[in-house]
């Protein structure tokens, strides 16, 4: 009888633990505007969108552990403007979010590959004085 009780208790604890794992926040989406391919010295806005309002968002760059931007938003999204871009800014970016009620960060969004071309922004590119 005690063995059956312990078996059922372990099963219940196991199922409860599995339910917590399944309640993980769904992954957000990440988009680049106006494009994920931009010229040197130009700007792009990476927008992270979640299915919930009142969240804190983080933007990360793959292979750069020191890169992280954080922003709180009352809306379902956060905009991360990246300005005066150079080739070293190129790479794969992803975002995560956390709501006030959640204790953990969401799954990572799909990556956005940011490509910086050699073409300079016409307004902000280098000038040559003659």
Taking residue 24's Cβ as centre, other Cβ atoms within 10 Å add up to: 12
Residue 7 in tokens? 């078996």
Q: So what's the pLDDT on residue 103?
A: 81
- What local confidence, expressed as pLDDT, does residue 1 receive? 53
Quick count: other Cβ atoms within 10 Å of Cβ 47?
Answer: 19
For residue 111, give its domain range. 25-120
CATH number at residue 42: 2.60.40.10
Cα separation of 48 and 78, whole Å? Answer: 5
Is position 129 within any domain?
no
Up-side HSE of residue 112: CA atoms within 13 Å toward CB?
Answer: 25
Look at the chain and report how many structural domains it folds into.
Answer: 1
- Within a domain: 100: yes
Q: Is residue 8 part of a domain?
A: no
In this prediction the pTM is 0.74
Q: Which residue has the tokens 């280098």?
A: 126
Cis peptide before 114 (omega within 30 of 0): no
Q: What is the pLDDT of residues 26-54, one digit of tens each?
A: 999 999 999 999 999 999 999 999 999 99
Structure tokens at 9: 């208790």
- Note whether residue 12 is domain-resident: no
Q: How far apart are CA 69 and CA 60, in angstroms?
A: 7
Residue 72 placed within a domain = yes
């Amino acid at each position: 009888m005690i063995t059956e009780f312990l078996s059922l208790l372990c099963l219940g604890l196991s199922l409860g633990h599995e339910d917590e794992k399944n309640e993980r926040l769904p992954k957000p989406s990440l988009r680049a505007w106006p494009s994920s391919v931009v010229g040197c010295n130009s700007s792009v806005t990476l927008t992270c969108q979640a299915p919930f309002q009142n969240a804190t968002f983080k933007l990360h760059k793959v292979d750069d552990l020191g890169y992280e931007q954080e922003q709180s938003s009352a809306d379902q999204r956060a905009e991360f403007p990246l300005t005066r871009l150079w080739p070293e800014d190129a790479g794969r970016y992803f975002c995560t979010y956390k709501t006030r009620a959640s204790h953990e960060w969401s799954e990572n969004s799909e990556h956005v590959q940011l490509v910086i071309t050699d073409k300079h922004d016409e307004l902000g590119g280098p000038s040559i004085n003659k």
